[in-house]
């Protein structure tokens, strides 16, 4: 196992989370930025741009230069921070910090499982993907049903799925060595783990976060 590669992955993951949460905090305290996002209805523009960059990075990573990959990743985490700003308005900061700590602990636990287990987690790749698609479909259905209990079940399922993805993605780093430039592998796998972390965090926040009065 290349410890240097893992160190780069974790460094870029840390940078991405720092950019996202930093941007979210600053944006939530800036009235002009909030007006652009919500009053002028620009939120969806940034949300669509966020998805577009995620898809572009996932599809084009092998043909990108390391610098281009870093720019895309940082831009994605910045846009995520803009759309993330709502949580600092909707939830108490103490609750956000608590959920972040719990998410970090769970991430560490499942990252260790992925790094240490002798089980080939790539065998479960199809099951993870099928479960993810099923969860997305259920989420779309519940937009119309608006069933609180169904929403809780979806959150719980999402947490389980993305915790599984954390272990899978950590193990996947080993197989990525030599496939492409290590700098690009570090950014791409940090991006994958960033998605895992954010999804677990958001689901835990929805379940246990204390809303502002």
pLDDT band at 4 (very low <50, low <70, confident <90, very high): confident
Average per-residue pLDDT in the chain? 91
Given a cut of 70, whether residue 1 has pLDDT beyond it is no
pLDDT at residue 213, rounded to an integer: 60
More confident site: 4 or 165: 165
The mean pLDDT of 62-85, rounded to a whole number, is 94
Q: How many CB atoms lie within 10 A of CB 109?
A: 13
pLDDT band at 125 (very low <50, low <70, confident <90, very high): confident
pLDDT band at 211 (very low <50, low <70, confident <90, very high): confident
pLDDT at residue 169, rounded to an integer: 95
pLDDT tens-digit series, residues 139-185: 999 989 889 999 999 999 999 999 999 999 999 988 877 678 889 99
Contacts with 88 (C-beta within 8 Å, 6 or more apart), sequence order: 24, 25, 28, 29, 96
Given its phi and psi angles, is residue 146 left (phi above 0), alpha (psi -120 to 50 degrees) or beta? left
Q: Indicate the domain borders of the chain.
A: 3-208
Q: Token pair of 50, please?
A: 């966020």
How much is the pTM? Answer: 0.93
Task: Choose among 167, 189, 177: nearest CA to 117.
Answer: 167
CA dist., res. 162 & res. 195, Å (int): 9
Given a cut of 80, whether residue 95 has pLDDT beyond it is yes
pLDDT at residue 72, rounded to an integer: 96
The mean pLDDT of 95-119, rounded to a whole number, is 94
Given a cut of 90, whether residue 32 has pLDDT beyond it is no
Task: Choose among 85, 80, 77: nearest CA to 28.
Answer: 85
| Helices assigned H by DSSP within the chain | 3-28, 31-34, 43-60, 66-90, 93-116, 125-145, 148-176, 182-208
């Amino acid at each position: 196992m290349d410890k240097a590669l893992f160190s780069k992955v974790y460094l870029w993951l840390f940078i991405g989370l720092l950019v996202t949460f930093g941007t979210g905090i600053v944006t939530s305290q800036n009235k002009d930025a909030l007006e652009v996002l919500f009053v002028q209805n620009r939120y969806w523009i940034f949300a669509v741009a966020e998805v577009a960059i995620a898809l572009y990075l996932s599809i084009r990573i092998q043909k990108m230069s390391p610098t281009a990959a870093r720019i895309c990743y940082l831009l994605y985490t910045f846009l995520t921070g803009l759309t993330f700003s709502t949580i600092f308005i909707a939830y108490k900061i103490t609750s956000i910090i608590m959920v972040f700590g719990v998410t970090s602990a769970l991430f560490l636990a499942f990252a260790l499982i992925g790094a240490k287990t002798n089980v080939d987690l790539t065998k479960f790749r199809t099951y993870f993907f099928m479960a993810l698609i099923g969860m997305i479909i259920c989420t779309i259905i519940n937009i119309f049903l608006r069933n609180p209990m169904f929403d809780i079940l979806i959150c719980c399922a999402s947490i389980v799925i993305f915790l599984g993805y954390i272990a899978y993605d950590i193990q996947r780093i080993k197989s990525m060595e030599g496939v492409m430039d290590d700098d690009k592998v570090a950014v791409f796998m940090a991006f994958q783990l960033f998605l895992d972390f954010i999804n677990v965090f958001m689901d835990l926040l929805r379940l246990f976060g204390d809303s502002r009065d």
